[in-house]
Structure 1
């Protein structure tokens, strides 16, 4: 058994090496996917729309697709790459293939099973989102932009976790822990939503500091304009980011909650450190996107955000794995999610 496998087997969950390799592989994979011919993404989009349309037929909900527009219950949605769940598939496949505690055959089987599950779950997501949109556009924006991102990220983590354990045994303890993760993630996001303006201003100020250090443009700034981070230079204004960092924090805090024990201030401190690290790294991502936008225009920013979106989705799980692996060994080590 390799050193990496021994590290993973020690506590039954991955460690720092796995988390770093996972982030690196997801970045590499999504970069390679970005260079595929447009026909590949068209075919993947068509598959997504076909599965959703079939699901609508089964459920008796009027659903149709034309070109890149999917209509559910009379509500039209444009299906882009991020709507196909391709990023989530990259994440779960990378996590499974890198987990060397299991044999390669089991890892490949996990990918084969996980991909159609995610495709079907994504069709359900689009169906529900379309129905919500047909009732309220404001509710559609909330569910589409934020709540579904949280739910789908937790779904991907759950698929991976159940696969790692070799199956899912439904018990009161497991149900309680899953409920804790979901409840805390949603509560954390609700709190961050209430604090959106002050939180966003601090994030923008941190991003501005990074940008000025890297670009030497002392008169430029990154500011919060409504719900979007915006670069404001002498002659140009460029929208950059819609603060998905809040979603990352919510998912991370949800995953970390079951690890908290009464009187364990070390774990509480490590959890706060992880949240701070995600904040700083998110500010750095906004800065790098700004540099790409200023240097290469909208196309450069779009290419960077395509990669950055996968990193954002993978980041909460990676920090969770790192901190969980650093906790003091003991009986409680076996009860974490």
Structure 2
């Protein structure tokens, strides 16, 4: 792959057709992953623990393990399927394999490098989280539940960007974009956490309206109860798991922040429209989750929420590509008028 000039970067960015195909394939791959045997999930967990212990040993950190328990510096953590970063690997691998502007050999090379890079990054994430937890449990909860959720999504997007561009341009503008993306994502996430009840109530009310439309049940409602969504109807109550919708909203905002320019109202408008679409997707998934639970039971809801979590993680990238594609297509028309 030849080295690229800065002017070539935008031309290499995916278009809207790729973005739609990517989302469709992510949903399909995630649905297939739901049927993976438990033995394969255990194998992924064991590999994650093994790699984390190897990294910890190299760095001189005391580590032990027993089945699904990984102990770092005396701090024990249970490693579940979500801790293996398999969802992020599926998203990244799908994006790389679908991107036909690069040759098959380059895509396979990217896959061979990107997947181990995610495994290593995830091992470092677990290692750092464990070390933090050995000093303070509240600090561990904050890092694990907030900082790393956003941070790891940004790491995956960064790996994709490095691969698709062929090289990383170390410049002040690149550093500024990275800084703005990180700051924008963390700020948006912090704002949503600070106003969690307001945000939760808004999403619950909107989800209730959409659910009533698709179920024809005017008595059903979805409410925000403390820190979770709850479906209620005719005495039934179903708790809905978090599908990382706040993370994907924050990540989308972070990706769009560096693109904002003074007086560029068109970009601001596109960003707001994209944000509304991302939040609307959250509403639809909550309502559909309730529908699955009512129609097929809690087991169907859990499978649907597993798919929803991965779709939510891939949604910011998809919306970013669609908006950038529209921006690039509009630019020539603006220049000729």
TM-score w.r.t. length of structure 1: 0.92
- 1:41-80 counterparts in 2 under 5 A? 41-80=41-80
Aligned to 1:275: 275
Distance 1:242 1:30, change over 3 A: closer
Determine if contact 2:203/2:283 at 8 Å carries over to the other structure: yes
Aligned to 2:141: 141
Shift of 1:39: 1.1
1:310 maps to 2:313: no
Moved more, 262-271 or 208-217: 208-217
Looking at structure 2, the residues matched to 239 and 122 of structure 1 have their Cα atoms a distance apart, in angstroms, of: 29
SS at match of 1:222: strand
Segments of 5+ residues of structure 2 without an aligned counterpart are: 1-7, 333-337
Looking at structure 1, the residues matched to 191 and 205 of structure 2 have their Cα atoms a distance apart, in angstroms, of: 21
Moved more, 8-17 or 123-132: 8-17
Looking at structure 2, the residues matched to 243 and 100 of structure 1 have their Cα atoms a distance apart, in angstroms, of: 30
Aligned to 2:242: 242
Distance 1:130 1:10, change over 3 A: closer
1:33 maps to 2:33: yes
Pairwise CA RMSD = 1.9
Shift of 1:19: 0.5
Shift of 1:280: 0.8
Aligned length: 325
Distance 1:238 1:12, change over 3 A: same
Moved more, 304-313 or 242-251: 242-251
Aligned to 1:293: 293
1:96-154 alpha-carbon deviations (Å, 9 max, x no partner): 11111110100010000001110010011111112222333333333222321211111
Shift of 1:242: 2.8
Looking at structure 2, the residues matched to 235 and 71 of structure 1 have their Cα atoms a distance apart, in angstroms, of: 43
1:252-283 alpha-carbon deviations (Å, 9 max, x no partner): 01101121111111110010010011111101
Shift of 1:225: 1.1
SS at match of 2:229: strand
Looking at structure 1, the residues matched to 209 and 147 of structure 2 have their Cα atoms a distance apart, in angstroms, of: 30
TM-score w.r.t. length of structure 2: 0.92
Shift of 1:168: 1.6
Looking at structure 1, the residues matched to 295 and 62 of structure 2 have their Cα atoms a distance apart, in angstroms, of: 45
